[in-house]
Structure 1
Amino acid sequence: MKDTTMTAHTRMTVLGETDERYDEILTPAALDFVARLHDQFAGRRHERLLERMRVRKAIENGRNLRFLPETASIREDRSWRVAGAGPGLEDRRVEITGPTDRKMTVNALNSGAKGWLADLEDATSPTWHNIIGGQVNLYDAIRGQVDFTTPEGKEYRVGFETPTIILRPRGWHLVEKHLSYTDRAGSTKPASGSLVDFGLYFFHNAQALIESGRGPYFYLPKIENHLEARLWDDVFTFSENALGLDRGTIRATVLIETITAAFEMEEILYELRDHCAGLNAGRWDYIFSLIKTYRDRGPAFVLPDRDRITMTVPFMRAYTELLVATCHRRGAHAIGGMSAFIPNRRDPEATRRALAKVSDDKHREATDGFDGSWVAHPDLVEVAMAEFDAVLGERPNQVERQRTDVWVTAGDLLDLSSIDHEVTDAGVRANVSVALRYVESWLRGTGAAAIDGLMEDAATAEISRSQLWQWIHHRIRTTEGTRITRDLVSVLIDQQLATTPRTDEDRFDDAAAIVRMVALEDEFPTFLTIPAYAHYLVDTPSDEAAGVPQEVAA
């Protein structure tokens, strides 16, 4: 039974409907803790988002990224180290990623992986049910009570040994419009998705995780610079003090998935050094960030078909080698990214190809010095584990391996001249197809979708739509001679709609409206999920309609 009555407590107001067991998560004490987080950090969050806009404008106007001269002393000081792995994080050779729905929770816990990235970000469509229902599932998983039976009678049971849970909250740029926060001056605005996800999870589960021999661990997404990392570090210290925990109980792994963060890896580690376990090479968001950041800088920054941007192209090699060398110099784990290929249990040949590609990808990462990597499907755990076992043996990681052979310059990170810039008709059609089908899935509440043998999430959809935008604005011509225009892409969207099987429940018409908005308009939305969320996943008027800049709407 659902109740749509608004509930207020202190200065956090629940606007979303309530459902079974939501009251176990949205308790007065938990909401009070989230309100205190907003009191302390909402203003600084807003400042950091404004700074993002300033940096992007400077790059648009011709400034290139560089390693910061003002923080050179941090990079040159070889004495400092990060806190490193907490209990249960020492061996991370394979981590499985995925949303926090009930079925995925059980499958992840039974996967045989060393860790589970429980994702409230890119692999989750942020419906109110997914966010709060996911918190319920995590609460149960931590307490060993997550077994369930489907309406068809299929039973899901969790085994004895389970991965260490690492929560990924939403990034600083996202809001939670089903919770409003009233500050001490009486101003009310949507809550921060980051502070809501972190706060509810930490408040309810930190002590239980510690008692289980592990701890409250987090992946930090979409960080763009070391000052954003400092903000997270202060959130952690405040939260530990609030619950009476020792400083450093929290451990965080930062996703280096923005081009700006790649230039500040050591500074990010330094800011989080008392709470940091490592860095992760978030490859898909990294590619999206590069396109987004340099989208207006001319044809030299135009990337080719998405499937041509592999991990072996020079600018991606520079990024990953710098990450490994940086992490190991500071005693941090270097965690590899996700190969998008997934098996198909109904197609043995497709499965064979997927396993071979994942094996190659994980072999490269293990031999490059990564301490672990990600997979998106339980059937991939074994093949990824084999590649890391072959390199690590009985060792939990290879942090002691120093990459003294790595010397990466700012030019290396931005070296797009050494790749081919070939765009094909098929590449354009593929981007339209993926963007449309993924967004439709996202609108129906599924944030990780298997499409054409690949696991697509918000990051890969962002690549697809941002490439379309960039190709249109730079009047790129395909190798077949086709000029990429708004009209062409609009026709391709219509053709995709016409050839896609439809149901009464599908959201393809809404998905098409979103894709046109984020790929065909003059303005480039910083994230497609911001307008999509505001217009389609909540019932409140959108901030965009009121003229509020997307990323600072909260």
Structure 2
Amino acid sequence: MTAGLSGSFLDSRGPLPLRGQKPVCSSSVSMELFPSPYGLQQEYETLFTSSSLDFLHQLISTFNEEVDQVLGLRVSRKAQLDLSGDLPGFLESTINIRRDPDWRVLPVPPRLQRRHVDIGDLAPCDTQRFIKALRSPAQGLQVDFDDGNCPTFYNQIKGIHNVLKAVHNQFPNVPDISQAPVLMLRPRAWNMVEHNIMVEGREAPGPLVDFGLLMFHCGRKLYENKSGPFFYLSKVESFMEARLWNKIFIWTQQKLGLPVGSIKATVLIENVLAAFEMEEILYELREHSAGLNCGIWDYSASFVNKFGHRQAFLLPDRSKYVNMEKRFLRSYMDLLVQTCHRRGALATGGMAALLLPQDPQSDSYRRVLATVTRLKLLEIQAGVDGFMVYDLSLIEPMQKLFKLHTEGENQLDQLRHDVTVTPEDLLSMPSGGVTLSGLMYNIAVGVLFINAWLSGKGHFFYRGQVEDSATAEISRSQVWQWIRHQTGLEDDSRLVSRRLVSDLTKEIMMELKVLCPSVSLPSAADMFLEVVLRRDFPEFITSYLNQDHTFITSQDPGQVEAVDSHLPRSKL
């Protein structure tokens, strides 16, 4: 494949479109690239060169079929659980892996050994916040193309180009990439597609586009600076998916001339089925593993995803009854730490979403800091080697907390021999009911998230904390499940029903219109109701927005750069 700077892309079978033209629709074209979003012509040409497109084409065509296979495996596993009524357990077929005491993951490079506090939900298309994070004292940055990011073509190109600039030291007054917080690059999850790139007549898998461009433009530079390439892998559901990622890593390293094991990846255990395969996931990635991560909301939402139609798995009000001290979440975190440390892998906790108020002398500031400290101390005491915060003002207090309660670079020596976790522990739902305030909060978060996406933003701020697709997932999941089971409110005799949710949505809209005046807010409310009132549970709200309500439009650059403009400057 060849390409000129004019933007015409060719292969041996035909041309790809010039910028400003519609894509060629021809069976002879093996790869199609849509035109540049407005205002990003230079970034577009930098990323999409003849060489990078050839690499992307090979990567995607090589693994397209296997991506379909792992997604098909998800569907078949869900169908089997539904039809049989069975519950997941630790796999008999892989018992030898779990019983073998000798295997370990390869040690991670020095820059990953000590990452007590990372910045999370960092959408790199927000240039101002990205630069501020690079200048911060954080030890790592979760550069997020997934949960905290809205994957418009504009945002993806802007974000990947910003990573390229950071890696190649093109931002002024930013530390060299070897000294800046280490970049933990988080491509989109398997459920996401890239509408603007077609390979062999099919839309490209979103994670392969993100991963491929990041590796092609930044992989070698990161490796040479002993600062990567390091990744987060989202929404992995089985060891077969980890096996596919490992094959992709090996193929990519060979193509780019990097040693095997150069790529390191942390797998986010965000699904209840993956919790039963943590050792197997580490085993599949043992040359490329940077450990496992646990987080509360995507993981909790996965229970509704897999078992939400079963009365026994009714998840109570998350605001009142769901936290990391509950048996099913505490068991999951303890097992993750034990599994990782037994195999020499790092275990990381979730993200503190609360925002510190401006005035350090205020009661609200002390209250928020005390809450974050208490919750993160639970994770430190469980043995995690690090966690994330959103608010940059929390970096130093949380680093001090780690220093006060731990010794050394990490807690790999905490083997947690005291932990014995059974399937019953992992599947034990907390007791509790549904409150009116919890129901209204979930509705508000769901509507505001969809509204943010319609504005090209992947996260927003509500009642003193950041919300993203993870909190949107648990919010809309709970509303759907409570309607499905006609759950009673603790406050009165009403049942959660279609009528009640519709009426409350109208009531909440009065508040939201004042809080967030937006022309897309009514559409967001309609789409939220469509999601929670459907007969069948939509697997991911992001898939629903990205595919059922196809999301192809380019965003005005002013929208993207203003993602956090309504926050005080210290929060940027």
After TM superposition, the score normalised by the length of structure 1 is: 0.91
The letter of the residue matching 2:298 is D
Displacement after TM superposition at 1:523 (Å): 1.9
String of CA shifts for 1:427-473, please: whole Å, max 9, x gaps: 11111111111221122112121111121110100100010000001
Deviation, 1:58, is 2.2
Equivalent position of 1:491 in the other structure:
503
1:339 CA drift (Å): 2.4
Name the counterpart of 1:176.
194
Q: Which is further off, 475-484 or 18-27?
A: 18-27
Deviates more, 1:191-200 or 1:489-498: 489-498
Question: SS in structure 1 opposite 2:418?
Answer: coil
Question: Which digits, 9 at most, give the CA deviation of each residue in 1:220-252, with x for residues without a partner?
Answer: 000000000000000000000001111000001
1:415 aligns with 2:428: yes
1:88 maps to: 111
Q: How many residues align structurally?
A: 522
Q: Which amino acid aligns with 1:355?
A: L
CA deviation after TM superposition for structure 1 residue 145, in Å? 1.6
Amino acid at match of 1:38: I
Say if 2:154 is the partner of 1:129.
Answer: yes
SS in 1 for 2:513: coil
Find the residue that maps to 2:400 and give its secondary structure. helix
- Report the Cα distance in structure 1 between the residues aligned to 2:101 and 2:207, rounded to whole angstroms: 32
Pick from 307, 315, 323 the counterpart of residue 336 of structure 2: 323
Q: CA deviation at 1:497?
A: 2.1
**Contact 2:152-2:553 at 8 Å conserved across structures:** no
Aligned twin of 1:15:
34
The Cα of 1:299 is off from its aligned counterpart by: 4.5
2:145–2:186 Cα contact (<8 Å) kept: yes
In 2: Cα distance, 1:288 partner to 1:495 partner: 25
What is the Cα deviation at residue 96 of structure 1? 0.7
What CA distance in whole angstroms lies between the structure 1 residues aligned with 2:19 and 2:365? 45
| Superposition deviation, residue 300 in structure 1 | 4.3
Equivalent in the alignment of 1:99: 123
- Is the Cα–Cα contact under 8 Å of residues 185 and 230 in structure 2 kept in the other structure? yes
**Between 13-22 and 426-435, the greater mean CA deviation after superposition:** 13-22
Contact 1:38 1:195 in 2 (8 A): yes
| Structure 1 range deviating more: 502-511 or 443-452 | 502-511
Distance of 1:275 and 1:473 partners within structure 2: 42
Cα-to-partner distance string for 1:270-310 (whole Å, 9 max, x where unaligned): 00001001000022110111121110111443333444211
Within the alignment, does 1:5 sit opposite 2:21 as a pair?
Answer: yes
CA contact (8 A) 2:304 2:313 kept: no
Aligned to 1:154: none
Contact 1:84 1:333 in 2 (8 A): no
Rounded Cα–Cα distance in structure 1 between residues aligned with 2:194 and 2:519: 24
Asked if the contact 2:341–2:414 (Cα under 8 Å) also holds between the matched residues in 1, the reply is: yes
* Matches for 1:454-469 after TM superposition, within 5 Å: 454-469=465-480
Contact conserved, 2:353 with 2:467, CA < 8 A, in 1? yes
SS of 1:500's equivalent in the other structure is helix
Match of 2:185 in 1: 167
Change in CA separation of 1:524 and 1:202 when aligned onto 2, cut-off 3 Å: same
* Aligned residue number for residue 373 of structure 2: 359
Provide the C-alpha distance between the structure 1 equivalents of 2:119 and 2:380, rounded to a whole number of angstroms: 16
Displacement of 1:92 in angstroms is 1.0
Indicate the residue corresponding to 2:559 in structure 1.
Answer: none
Deviation at 1:352, TM superposition (A): 2.4
String of CA shifts for 1:365-387, please: whole Å, max 9, x gaps.
11211111111110111121112
How does 1:291-310 map onto structure 2 within 5 Å? 291-310=304-323
SS in 1 for 2:94: helix
Separation in 2 of the partners of 1:371 and 1:39?
37
Deviation for aligned residue 1:159: 4.4
Residues 244-393 of structure 1 correspond to what in structure 2 (within 5 A)?
244-345=257-358, 348-393=362-407
Please report how far the alpha carbon of residue 363 of structure 1 lies from its aligned counterpart in structure 2 after TM superposition: 1.3
Q: Is the 8 A contact 2:109 2:226 kept in 1?
A: no
8 Å Cα contact 2:314-2:481 kept in structure 1: no
**One-letter amino acid of the structure 2 residue matched with residue 131 of structure 1:** Q
Q: Quote how far apart the aligned CAs of 1:346 are.
A: 6.4
Counterpart CA distance in 2 for 1:145 and 1:350 is: 39
Q: How far off is 1:397 after superposition?
A: 0.8
Structure 2 residue aligned with 1:451: 462
Secondary structure of 1:95's match?
strand
The answer as to whether partners of 1:224 and 1:261 remain within 8 angstroms in 2 is yes
Contact 1:219–1:253 (CA<8 Å) still a contact in 2? Answer: yes
Residues 228 and 434 of structure 1: CA distance in aligned 2, closer, same or farther (over 3 Å): same
In structure 2, the residue matched to 1:533 is 546
In 2, distance between residues paired with 1:35 and 1:190?
12
Query: 2:353 aligns to what SS in structure 1?
Result: coil
- 5+ residue gaps, structure 1, are 148-156, 183-187, 541-554
Instruction: State how far apart, in whole Å, the 2-side matches of 1:336 and 1:71 are.
Output: 26
Q: Find the aligned partners of 2:19 and 2:501 in 1 and give their Cα distance.
A: 43
Report which stretch shifted further, 129-138 or 510-519.
510-519
State the partner residue of 2:561.
none
1:425 aligns with 2:436: yes
Amino acid across the alignment from 1:261? A
**Secondary structure in 2 aligned to 1:501?**
helix
Residues 499/4 of structure 1: CA separation in 2 closer, same or farther (3 Å cut): farther
Instruction: Tell me how far apart the structure 1 counterparts of residues 150 and 35 of structure 2 sit (CA, whole Å).
Output: 15
Distance in 2 between residues matched to 1:230 and 1:539, nearest whole Å? 34
Conserved 8 A contact 2:117-2:387: yes
For 1:268 and 1:123, how far apart are their aligned partners in 2?
A: 24
More deviation, 238-247/346-355: 346-355
Distance 2:55 2:244 in 1: 17
Conservation of the 8 A alpha-carbon contact between 2:353 and 2:391: no
- Amino acid paired to 2:292: L
Change in Cα spacing, 1:169 to 1:484, as seen in structure 2 (3 Å) is same
- For residue 539 of structure 1, report the CA deviation from its aligned partner: 5.7
Identity of aligned residues (%): 37
Identify which of 73, 76, 79 aligns with 1:51: 73
Helix, strand or coil at the partner of 2:461: strand
Residue 518 (structure 1) aligns with: 531
- How far apart are the structure 2 equivalents of 1:506 and 1:389? 47
Report the CA distance between 1:10 and its aligned residue. Answer: 7.1
C-alpha displacement of 1:326: 0.2
8 Å Cα contact 2:451-2:520 kept in structure 1: yes
- Tell me, in whole angstroms, the C-alpha distance in 2 between the residues paired with 1:133 and 1:204: 14
2:562 corresponds to: none
CA contact (8 A) 1:325 1:403 kept: yes
